[in-house]
Amino acid sequence: MRDLPPNLHLGTSSFSEESWIGPFYPPGSKPADMLPYYATRYATVEVDSTYYRAPSLSMCQRWAGVTPAPFRFSLKVPSDITHKKALVGAEADWEAFVRNIAPLGPKLAYLVLQFPYWNLKSPIPSLKEFLARLGAFTEKAKPPCPLVVETRNPKWIGKDLLDFLRERRLILALQDQQWMPRPAQLWEKWVEALKTGKDLYIRMLGERDRIDALTKTWDKIVIDRSAQTAEWIPILERFLSQEQDVSMYFNNHFEGHAPESIEKLKRTWKTGFTEPPPP
C-alpha cells in the first residue's frame, strides 16, 4: 500500500449535483451546504457552471468564504468567449469575468479555455488560425492564474500545438474521452512534451452519449472504467516523481458518479491493481 503524494490534487467537475445527496452529501443537504461539505472531502474542484454563465462577484465571494485556505478552484472560461466569439471581440467579457472572480484570490488555481471540435466549416477552421487567435488573446489577457487549453480535435495534438503552448507557458489539458487519443498513445509519442506549462492538468470525461442513454441521475457508477483509470497511473507516477503538481478532475460522465471515480483512482494508486468490474 502506498499513500497518495501531496502534489496529486483530485477533484470533481462540479460540486452542486443534487443526485449526490445521499451517496456523497449527507441526507437533507441544501445547496448552500454542498461546497462547505465538499471542501472537507476534496481540496480542489473544477467549476463547470462558469462555462455556461460567468459567476457573479457575490457568488465568488461566497465560494471563497466557505472554503478553507488551501482549497483550490479551477474555473472554466465562459463559452461566450471560447465558443460564441471564438476569442475575437471578447475583451469586455473577459475583463468582466476576471473582475468577478477576483475574490477567490490565491484559491484560484487555473482557468480552463475549453474549445469545441473545430473543423473546416467552423469559425476557426484550422490549427494555424486557432494558434493565431489564441496567441493574440493570451498576449492581452493577463490572467490571474495559469491558463489551461483544451482542444477536442485530436488531429491538432502535435508538435506545432505543443511547442506553441510551451513557449507561452499554457497548460495542455489531457483528456480521457471517447474521440481523443488514449493516454498510452499520447505518452508513447510525446512523453514529457505533453507537459507544456508548469503543471499537469487532466480531465476525466468519458463517453457522454453512451452514459446519457443509460442514466439521468449521477448517484452510482453505471459504466466501469477501471482499466481506463489504471492507464493513467504510469503517467501520474512519472510526473509526480519529479515533484510536478498534477490536478485531475472527474466528470460524472466518466463512470456515472464522479466522487466514486475519485475513490477508485485512490484505491488503484494505493494497491497498484486494476479493480475488477462489479458483479
Q: Which three cell numbers stand for residue 271?
A: 494497491
Closest CA to 42 of 24, 23, 60: 24
Asked if pLDDT for residue 104 goes beyond 90, the answer is yes
| Number of domains into which the chain is organized | 1
Over range 160-165, report the average pLDDT: 97
C-alpha to C-alpha distance for 246 and 33, rounded to whole angstroms: 28
CB 16 within 8 A of CB 45: no
pLDDT digits (tens, 9 = 90+) for 205-243: 999 999 999 999 999 999 999 999 999 999 999 999 988
- Indicate whether 259 belongs to any domain: yes
What is this structure's pTM? 0.95
Q: Report whether pLDDT(87) > 50.
A: yes
Q: Is 246 exposed, middle or buried (0-12, 13-18, 19+ CB in 10 A)?
A: buried
Whether the per-residue pLDDT at 272 is higher than 80: the answer is no
pLDDT of residue 178: 85
Q: Check whether 113 has a pLDDT greater than 70.
A: yes
Asked if residues 106 and 67 have their Cβ atoms less than 8 Å apart, the reply is no
Please state, in angstroms and rounded to a whole number, the distance separating the CA atoms of residues 219 and 260. Answer: 9
Residue 62 inside a domain? The answer is yes
Angle between the N-to-C axes of helices 57-65 and 91-101, in degrees from 0 to 180, rounded to the nearest 10: 30
Query: How much is the pLDDT for 273?
Result: 56
Whole-number pLDDT of residue 119: 77
Flag whether 277 is in a domain.
Answer: no
37-72 per-position pLDDT tens digit: 999 999 999 999 999 999 999 999 999 999 999 999
Q: Has residue 148 got a pLDDT over 50?
A: yes
Q: What is the pLDDT of residue 17?
A: 96
**Is residue 225 assigned to a domain?**
yes
DSSP 76-138: EPPHIIIIISTTSS-HHHHHHHHHHHGGGGGGEEEEEEE-----TTSSS-SHHHHHHHHHHHH
Phi, psi of 203 (to 5 degrees): -120, 120
SS3 category, 17: coil
Residue 223 lies in a domain: yes
Q: Which domain holds residue 114?
A: 8-271
Q: What is the mean pLDDT of residues 113-120?
A: 87
Q: Is residue 3 part of a domain?
A: no
Q: In this predicted structure, which of 29-38, 99-108, 120-129, 154-163 has the lowest mean pLDDT?
A: 120-129
Q: Is residue 264 part of a domain?
A: yes
Q: Across all residues in the chain, what is the average pLDDT?
A: 93
Question: What CATH code is carried by the domain that includes residue 235?
Answer: 3.20.20.410
The position carrying cell 473543423 is 119
Mean pLDDT of 75-103: 97
User: What number is the average pLDDT over the span 113-121?
Assistant: 87
State percent of the chain over pLDDT 70: 97
In this structure, is residue 261 part of a structural domain? yes
Query: What pLDDT band is residue 279 in, cutting at 50, 70 and 90?
Result: very low
